[in-house]
Structure 1
Amino acid sequence: MTSSEFHANPDNFCYRHPGRQSFVLCQRCMRTICPECQTQAPVGVICPECMQDQRRNQSPAQRKAQRRWGSRTMTAAGGRPLVTYWIIGITSAVSLLQLLPGVGVPIGQALQFWAGYLYPSLSGESFQPWRLLTTLLVHGGFIHLGLNMLALWMIGQSLEPLIGRAKFLTLYLVSGLAGSVGVAVIAPQVSTVGASGAIFGLMAALLVIGRHLGANVTGILVVLGINLAIGFIPGFNVAWQAHVGGAIIGALIGLVYARTSGRQNARFWWIGLVSAIVLVLILVVAIVPPLLITAGH
């Protein structure tokens, strides 16, 4: 395409500001819009006209949710999922080092999780509780890493701007912790690596929050159900215990965020309730697996 043809094509310029070049399309009407005309939506961006039309067609429940969540949360996050990018970058760097011949095995062994590291008197290993979270940084191969990071990127694009960076990071870490606790409680003899527990927590939270906002969550529910079911299919070497643990706690935290957002002293409530969830997880992993291991002997 020549320069004159490019400038003659109105699709290369914002429909509301014809002098501004852009290649971003409104996700509803598919017209070109410049940064000034872009409003962040759960998926992609929409133009001002579509935003007005969407607000006119909202149900009473959706309007109530909009008043509670509003655009304040998204503005506080800056509209860019920076935490998502940082998690992907750090996890990918560590996992790729772990997959290198020669140095990979020691890294994987130093960061993977096994319940025995929590109970020195029963396993003979040293006490290493940090492995509950460091296991999120290492993976079983390029495919495992790629699928988890792709899922994180896709979910983070929508969820992090919606709830804010602090809540998103908290959700990711606590869901990952819950995944490790799930493995320790259900299958204490199994060692595990990967961020799958945290990813399932994000999916479950997105499902709960989306339902609260009145969005169509059928697609998320189907994806979550399929991925949970894969863990129970014979032949797939998947730690489904981490998936279940992460999904349950992720859904619970999503409910906390939905119920406390927009309320007076909202930060106090969500931090307090999530801290209580973490405390319960610590108590569960401190009490239940030793009883199971002792009973097994």
Structure 2
Amino acid sequence: MVAGFRRSLSFSTPSPRRSPPPEKSYHVRSISLPCKSHPLISQLKDKINELRKWESESEAAATTTGFSSSACLCNGLSHLKNVQDCLDDLLHLPQTQESLRRRSDWVENLLEDFLRFVDVYGIFRAALLSLKEQHLAAQVSIRRRDESNIASYVKSSKRKDKEMRKLASIVRRIGKCSSPALVSVSSDSDSELAAVLRDVNQVTVSVSVTLFNGISSSSGSWMTGWRAQKIKKEKGIWEFEEAKLQSLRWLRKKGDEEEVRMSLISRLQALDDCIGGIESGSEKVFRSLMNTRVSLLNILTQ
């Protein structure tokens, strides 16, 4: 008798539970939000806002009195130096240099603008040195009671007035001729950089024009003082105006002549300090402009 085979169902031994396979990663393209500004850009914006606040305050004061003080102008120059120094720091950032190398036209236009700024401030510094010498000569003439040199002093004041107005005109053209390429940008970071560069140019122009016009009006008002003419000059420097009024008293011999003469000498000495402060402030701005231009040139040539 043959034994029969019984069919049976076999079950495989259950394998240990495996963890689910890791999800396959995919590169997903997304629209990224603009990254946070670099702290140096934020700092530069703050410096620009401080300078604009100074502009509005000095404009309000000048509108009320008709004159600015030398201390106010020196304060504006200090703010402008801070803006230029902060810009120079920004230009040393690798990401800034990378952005500007992609837009060499920006750098070339900025180089041209800053070359004009440097030239203008160089001329201004030389003019201030000449102005100091003229005031010293005027003091000597007054001490000696010698009016023979006053005519040449008046003539030099006229030249100075014309020179300052010419510098202001040159600076205004820098503002008008700023490159439109600074507005045409392709990314948020480039747009922010372009905007801050444009703002730096604008405040540099406006502060410089205020400075040159202030000296121009003061030079002209001083000239009219010696000539005893009443010509309205707006937004000059009040220290110049005080010296002018005192000179009118001396020329017209109003009051005690010796007392007026000594008072005028004192005013002129104070005016020397005023010119010295502006000279120091403009010297610092000049050096900052030079540093900024060198940094731009390095970006273009590296």
TM-score range, shorter chain: under 0.3
Structure with bigger RCO (C-alpha 8 Å, 6+ apart): 2
From the CA coordinates, give the structure whose radius of gyration is larger: 2
TM-score normalised to structure 1 length: 0.28
TM-score normalised to structure 2 length: 0.27
Structure in which a larger fraction of residues adopt helix = 2
